[in-house]
Amino acid sequence: MGKRIVIALGGNALGKNLPEQMQAVKTTAKAIVDLIEEGHEVIVAHGNGPQVGMIQNAMAALTRSDPEKYILCPLSVCVAMSQGYIGYDLQNALREEMLDRGMTKGVTTVLTQVEVDPKDPAFRHPTKPIGAFMTKEEAKKLSQQGCAVIEDAGRGYRRVVASPRPQSIVELDTIKALVEAGQVVIACGGGGVPVFKTNGHHLKGAAAVIDKDFASSKLAQQLDADCLIILTAVEKVAIHYGKPDVRWLSELTPEKAQEYIEAGEFAPGSMLPKVQAAVEFAQSKPGRTALITLLEKAKDGVAGKTGTHIHR
């Protein structure tokens, strides 16, 4: 019997620019369709680091070209643009791969908003650099517009934004209805467009980026998925990574993973959020499993042949 699987695609699955992305999604689609072909319900989430950076830089350049005519584009709008740009390539690659195999499932990209808490401590300490380097004068002007700016290792100034934890998926009912109708759904691109509620129900975009692994974990929980697959650049999670006594892990309980987290075994901004998101999903309900592995090993990972499996 097929499982309901949420897949979180890493940056290596999408490339760093338009030509790379168009090529990368073809390889990515093959690995995803392998799972669909085996009868699994698949929901795809993805990052957007390079893509949203390109969009933000382009919009900032437009503003600089004529500040009187063009205002600074909100980051939430840039995230929404990236969802459409990536989803366009990814859904076409998935559709073509399925048709090549004689499969006629539809593929849909859902422009997804993800609610965050405006009181999340991350908003008081923005740390996520975005966009191009600026001069001191450009940084001062941006700061006067209410944006947080830092000096980055002597290379210039960059804008920094918060990275709050996702609270809920706004379009959850739509995503669920599409999945249950047999569609392959792409959702929560770039971690989702970060929004918070004002005046009871109005949604307002937040100047933030949501980690795609935490957003994927939240999506998997709210969809009642059986498995969360976090795809990355290594086949398994390791402790003592980069050292002679490196140890690759096939199985982890949430408790053991937490011990390794507290011991500082996983690098912040790299493996740490992946393991944290996997633990969060595995703990959320009995019988749920998180898998961390390579894109090309996803099918073998679901079959229990490789990868790091985190479950009770």
CA nearest neighbour of 134 among 160, 116, 111, 109: 160
Active site residues: 11-12, 128, 212, 274
Phi, psi for residue 67 in degrees, rounded to 5: -60, -25
Q: What does the DSSP 8-state code read for residue 267?
A: -
Cα 115 to Cα 100: distance, rounded to the nearest angstrom: 38
Question: What region does 166 belong to: left with phi over 0, alpha with psi -120 to 50, or beta?
Answer: beta
Q: What angle in degrees, to the nearest 10, is found between the helix axes of 18-37 and 75-100?
A: 50
CA nearest neighbour of 175 among 56, 41, 296: 41
Cα 27 to Cα 97: distance, rounded to the nearest angstrom: 10
Q: What does the DSSP 8-state code read for residue 68?
A: T
CA atoms within 13 A on the CB side of 122: 20
